A and B are shown apart, each in its own frame.
Chain A
Amino acid sequence: MTHTEKRILTNKIVMVLSTLSAAIGIAFLLWILSVLVINGIEAINWNIFIYEGAPPGYEQSGLKHALIGQLLLVGIATLIGVPLGIFGGTYLSEYGGLKSRLANVIRDVSDIMMSAPSIVIGSFVYAIFVAPMGNFSGWAGIIALTIIMVPVILRTTDDMLQLVPSTLREAAFALGAPKYKVILQVVIRGAKTGILTGVLLGVARVSGETAPLLFTSFNDNFLNTDLSQPIASLTVTMFNYATSPYEDWQKLGWAAAFILSMFILGLNILGRLILIKRKRK
């Protein structure tokens, strides 16, 4: 076999192997999605949005409590986490820069936090908040979700602001703008689609979290909006219903899984669309 023939053969082998691996991955993904969609659509009806949780065997049982709980937890975590992340990211990029030791320590710490298992964050919040307060609560869940969300938004903001060309900053300074106006009116505006994508990805990331909520907001089978008390979430409800032996609860579990997946899929698609639109410009 000549050298060229050898290379052509290696090329073919590698191509077949990588195509095969990709096909296996996609096949499993499609399998999961189709099972989810088939079971989810079958389980969804109006009752889900009208009724709270009920003991097994009740007609009038739904997911209203979990949907509202989920919205409260994720919504308030977003309200707290987004400004924290954006301000922090702005500090890193605009006041710290790439040479600042403090900024680089913060960058490393957030990168570690992003890859830390979320259950660790959950137990941390349990130790510093739930245990001293004496009970599970919505606020504890919100704190856990915020801690998970902030590093994602912080780093995306940091990266996106650094992509803004420095000549744009200089041009604003050259017109006599003070630094805070340069940042607010020119730099952040120039990076706003990228920052928005970071926010969407951060929200999508925490929307699917279960482990940190198990230790913090825990669960409630009925509607509760008092954040000082345990509160239902789609993820924990799904976990409980899906692992229960009752068929009607399992069905509700499928419905919760379907709604949650569609929500997160929607956020991800929206994030991609915004990025594509920006690149076209």
Chain B
Amino acid sequence: MPTIIDITEDKAIEVKNFEFTYAGSDEPNLKNISMPIAKNRVTALIGPSGCGKTTLLRSFNRMHDLYPGNSYAGEILFEGRNILQEKEDMIKLRTQIGMIFQKPTAFPMSIFDNVAYGLRLKGIKNKSELADRVEKALKDAAIWKETSARLKHDANGLSGGQQQRLCIARAIAVEPEVLLFDEPTSALDPISTQGIERLIIELKEKVSILIVTHNMQQAARVSDYTGFMYLGDLIELGRTEDLFVTPCEKLTEEYITGKFG
């Protein structure tokens, strides 16, 4: 049995007996996962490559629905409803639960239009409101200084680290409840990485964060809770300082001491 901490804080999301199977896979790729995601905290997922971190992360905004034949089982409770239900409104869900990808995904349009993209989807047309909210998002993502003078320029002219911040600005502009990060710094240099990590810690005042990382130091630096995954199972979830210092499971200990992975 996995060791999952019973948190006393408010929860943003509660996962119960969740299973996920990719199209064409004989057995579930994620097995019987139960975990809380604490509100306004950073929860990190670590584990060796291929253990299912990305797969789990992409279940929270139903990204797997974009490709046919994938199937979910169990429950993911968010705002009192099970988001795995058939009737779930994907468009609404994805504005409530945002996602940042491994590589920056700046759209082929101006910096301003990138950040305004989600706002316009929400039906905001008023020019001054758009301008205000774009500015606020860029400030919150700590990239306003570099971009304020060139909002009309193509977003692809920004550096990798700047583009990743722009994607964060784009995601927080629509004021989501939860943000999902999939190895957001693996394509970045150390300085940009440090900036993004600092940003993640600041952002948790407003949103609940789930971050996948292959870098244990990063998990230790940014997260309040850490979950260790192995071969599609969640082996252990605990307070970050506990998990790294006194892990309960033997597998966790072996992984964090570098015996495998």
Q: Which residues of A contact B (CB under 8 A)?
A: 165, 167-178, 181, 185-186, 189-190, 192, 281
Contact = CB atoms under 8 A, between A and B. Distances in A.
B63 interface: yes
Given A189-B107, A281-B156, A170 B171 contact: no
A44 to B, nearest CB: 42
Nearest to A169: B66
Contacts of B171: 174-175
A176 B109 contact: no
5 contacts: A170-B99, A173-B66, A174-B63, A174-B94, A175-B118
A267 to B, nearest CB: 24
A221 to B, nearest CB: 49
Contacts of A189: 107-109
Contact of A175 (B102, B109, B117): B117
A177 B101 contact: no
Contacts of B174: 175-176
A176 B63 contact: no
A167 B103 contact: yes
B183 to A, nearest CB: 12
Contacts of A174: 61, 63, 94, 98-99, 101, 171
Interface of B: 61, 63, 66, 90-95, 98-99, 101-103, 105, 107-109, 117-118, 121-122, 156, 167, 170-171, 174
Contacts of A192: 108
Given A171-B167, A185-B117, 19 more contacts: A165-B105, A167-B101, A168-B105, A169-B66, A172-B107, A174-B94, A175-B95, A175-B171, A175-B174, A176-B90, A176-B93, A176-B94, A176-B174, A177-B117, A178-B91, A185-B109, A189-B109, A190-B107, A192-B108
Contacts of B118: 175-176
A174 B95 CA distance: 8
A135 to B, nearest CB: 48
A176 B167 contact: no
Contacts of A177: 91, 117, 121
A-B pairs, 6 with minimum CB distance: A171-B105, A176-B94, A174-B99, A176-B95, A175-B118, A190-B108
B107 A170 contact: no
Given A173-B66, A175-B117, A168 B107 contact: yes
Given A167-B101, A170-B66, A170-B101, A176 B107 contact: no
A177 B121 CA distance: 7
B159 to A, nearest CB: 14
A171 B164 CA distance: 12
Contacts of A168: 105, 107
Contacts of B93: 176
Contacts of A165: 105
A173 B107 contact: no
A177 B120 CA distance: 10
A173 B94 contact: yes
Contacts of B61: 174
Contacts of A281: 156
Contacts of B117: 172, 175, 177, 185
A176 B121 contact: yes
A186 B108 contact: yes
A173 B121 contact: no
Of listed A171, A173, A175, residue having the most chain B CB within 10 A: A175
A172 B122 CA distance: 13
Contacts of B108: 186, 189-190, 192
Contacts of A175: 94-95, 98, 117-118, 121, 170-171, 174
Contacts of B99: 170-171, 174
A159 B99 CA distance: 28
A190 B117 CA distance: 15
B152 to A, nearest CB: 16
Nearest to B58: A170
A149 to B, nearest CB: 26
A185 B174 CA distance: 18
Contacts of B105: 165, 167-168, 170-171
Contacts of B156: 281
A114 to B, nearest CB: 28
